């Protein structure tokens, strides 16, 4: 009896450790989902396969290698020391960006990133594109406050120049209205109208006070996957993110600083309990931001 109790406690401990390892995302990978299988998922399974909960771990770089266009979604939180971007097992490369490009957006306090000896200081919401071939990337601690860098990295076969992009340099669009609760500013930071990239597109969208809906009406783009990273979600507020084929949608409740994956066949849209901001990042077959198949709200199921 006593031995059984001990064994159960041990098994529970092992299970907790494995779960913790799988979902704390120091280095994790996520396989792609077929839309027919998607229909069967429980809330728990949906969250395991689409929600990235713990991207920021103190003094760590977190990598989630997704099998959606091999986009890596990651977070960096240098607190007591600067952190170097190192290649790891999943990449089987001499250095991280040997066959990849990377886009970084600062979502914390002002902090710098050094790329092959060149230092770029990034204010909150500023972006840095790092071209394929960069060997040494170092994320610095913030001089004041907490440094939080969100990044996306995609396979790349050509080097384009590393460049910082400020909010003033972004292509900015205002969409929606307060009447339809979706008044928002879209800032296209790392897109082909601003700078050349191989396949990565990134930007950020901010909702005006009183507006809660992003990407409504929604769309799909079968040629590109997308990842949404929600930030500036006020304490105790949440975002309800919608995913799935337009006629078979599900939802995931998302907290501040969490990301959601959107397969090419899925809509990606959300409604918050208050206004918030989010980063969108895409990889795939073209660099045409306007390549979207719009869905009329009346056709959503």
Ligand X SMILES: O=C[C@H](O)[C@@H](O)CC(=O)C(=O)O
Q: Residues comprising the binding site for Zn(2+)?
A: 219, 221, 226, 268
Site string for ligand X, 13-52 (x = CB under 6 A): ----------------------------------------
In the complex, least distance from residue 66 CB atom to ligand X, rounded to whole angstroms: 16
**CA-to-CA distance for 122 and 113, rounded, in angstroms?**
8
Identify what 183 binds: ligand X, Zn ion, none; CB under 5 to 8 Å per kind. Answer: none
Closer residue to Zn ion in complex, CB, 85/207: 207
In the complex, least distance from residue 52 CB atom to ligand X, rounded to whole angstroms: 17
Identify what 214 binds: ligand X, Zn ion, none; CB under 5 to 8 Å per kind. Answer: ligand X
* Residue 239 touching ligand X (CB under 6 A): no
Cis omega (within 30 of 0) for bond into 75: no
User: Hey, what are 180's tokens?
Assistant: 């339809």
Identify what 266 binds: ligand X, Zn ion, none; CB under 5 to 8 Å per kind. Answer: none
User: Hey, what are 89's tokens?
Assistant: 């097992």
User: Hey, what are 77's tokens?
Assistant: 């939180």
CA 110, 26, 237, 174 torsion: positive or negative?
positive
Closer residue to Zn ion in complex, CB, 113/186: 186
- Contact positions with ligand X (CB under 6 A) in 168-227: 184, 186, 205, 214-215, 226
Query: Among 32, 74, 31, which residue's Cα sits nearest to residue 55?
Result: 74
Closer residue to ligand X in complex, CB, 62/215: 215
Closer residue to ligand X in complex, CB, 76/186: 186
Closer residue to Zn ion in complex, CB, 96/265: 265
For residue 13, how many other CB atoms are within 10 A of its CB? 10
DSSP string, 158-189: S----EEE-TTTSEEEEE--TTTT--EEEEEE
**CA-to-CA distance for 229 and 204, rounded, in angstroms?**
9
Number of helical H runs and strand E runs in the chain: 3, 24
- Contact positions with Zn ion (CB under 5 A) in 215-254: 226
Identify what 165 binds: ligand X, Zn ion, none; CB under 5 to 8 Å per kind. Answer: none
With CB under 6 A as the contact rule, the residue among 65, 151, 229, 280 that binds ligand X is: 280
User: What are 175's strand-pairing partners?
Assistant: 184
**CA-to-CA distance for 156 and 71, rounded, in angstroms?**
11
Residues found near ligand X in the complex (CB under 6 A): 184, 186, 205, 214-215, 226, 268, 280, 292
């Amino acid at each position: 009896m006593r031995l059984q109790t001990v064994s159960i406690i041990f098994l529970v401990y092992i299970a907790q450790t494995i779960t913790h390892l799988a979902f704390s995302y120091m280095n994790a990978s996520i396989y792609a989902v077929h839309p027919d299988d998607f229909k069967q998922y429980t809330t728990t399974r949906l969250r395991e396969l689409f929600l990235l909960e713990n991207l920021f771990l103190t003094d760590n770089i977190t990598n989630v290698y997704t099998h959606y266009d091999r986009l890596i979604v990651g977070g960096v939180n240098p607190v007591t020391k600067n952190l170097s971007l190192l290649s790891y097992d999943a990449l089987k490369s001499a250095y991280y960006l040997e066959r990849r490009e990377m886009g970084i957006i600062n979502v914390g306090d002002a902090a710098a990133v050094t790329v092959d000896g060149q230092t770029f200081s990034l204010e909150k919401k500023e972006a840095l594109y790092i071209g394929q071939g960069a060997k040494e990337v170092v994320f610095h601690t913030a001089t004041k406050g907490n440094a939080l860098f969100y990044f996306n990295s995609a396979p790349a076969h050509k080097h384009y120049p590393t460049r910082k992009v400020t909010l003033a340099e972004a292509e900015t669009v205002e969409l929606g209205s307060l009447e339809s609760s979706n008044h928002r500013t879209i800032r296209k930071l790392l897109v082909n109208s601003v700078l050349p990239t191989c396949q990565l597109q990134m930007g950020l969208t901010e909702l005006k006070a009183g507006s809660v809906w992003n990407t409504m009406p929604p769309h799909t783009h079968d040629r590109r996957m997308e990842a949404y990273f929600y930030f500036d979600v006020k304490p105790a507020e949440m975002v309800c993110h919608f995913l799935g084929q337009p006629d078979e949608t599900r939802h995931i409740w998302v907290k501040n600083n969490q990301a959601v994956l959107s397969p090419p066949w899925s809509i990606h849209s959300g409604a918050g309990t208050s206004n918030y901001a989010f980063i969108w990042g895409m990889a795939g077959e073209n660099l045409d931001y306007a390549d979207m198949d719009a869905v009329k709200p009346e056709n959503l199921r």
